[in-house]
Amino acid sequence: MGERTGLVVLAALMIGSAVLGPFPHPVPLLFAIAAAGAVNAVFPLMRSFGSAVLGGAAVAGVGVAAVPFVTCSTDRFTDVFTCTGDAPTWHMTGAVLVAALSGAALVLARALGAAELARRLAAIERAVTEGARR
């Protein structure tokens, strides 16, 4: 039960960061995608899909973390990202947070899957033991 609660809390943090955070485009979208993956990872049928989405969000977060610093260093690409004020810093901060929260959700999804597998195996073992006694 603790892993499920953890995934829901992480999804809520991701949604809150997307809605209320000072992060420039496309970081809120990454938060929303990662939140969808965390919510999907709660359900056994969707755990593999949710984990794949979380992994993709983590990789994308790492991949786009430094992009504004590169694009804002030249006048040629200043229309790609917001280059005013501390927007590149908030972009990098948000992208790293997406990667970190997605990684934490991946760990919880894996732990939840392992715990459910152990419960299923214990139930099968009990059924086999009771069947052998009869």
CB 17 within 8 A of CB 7: no
Q: Which residue has the higher pLDDT, 114 or 75?
A: 114
Give CA–CA dist 95/100, Å, rounded.
9
Give CA–CA dist 132/95, Å, rounded.
55
80-107: average pLDDT: 87
Closest residue by Cα to residue 41 from 55, 32, 51: 51
Give CA–CA dist 59/100, Å, rounded.
10
For 27-85, write each residue's pLDDT tens digit: 999 999 999 999 999 998 898 899 999 999 999 999 888 888 777 777 776 666 677 77
Give CA–CA dist 22/59, Å, rounded.
21
- Match 């590169």 to its residue by tokens: 70
**H runs (alpha helix) in the chain:** 2-20, 27-42, 47-64, 67-71, 87-133
Give CA–CA dist 66/7, Å, rounded.
27
107-111: average pLDDT: 93
Per-residue pLDDT, 66: 82
Average pLDDT over the chain reads 88
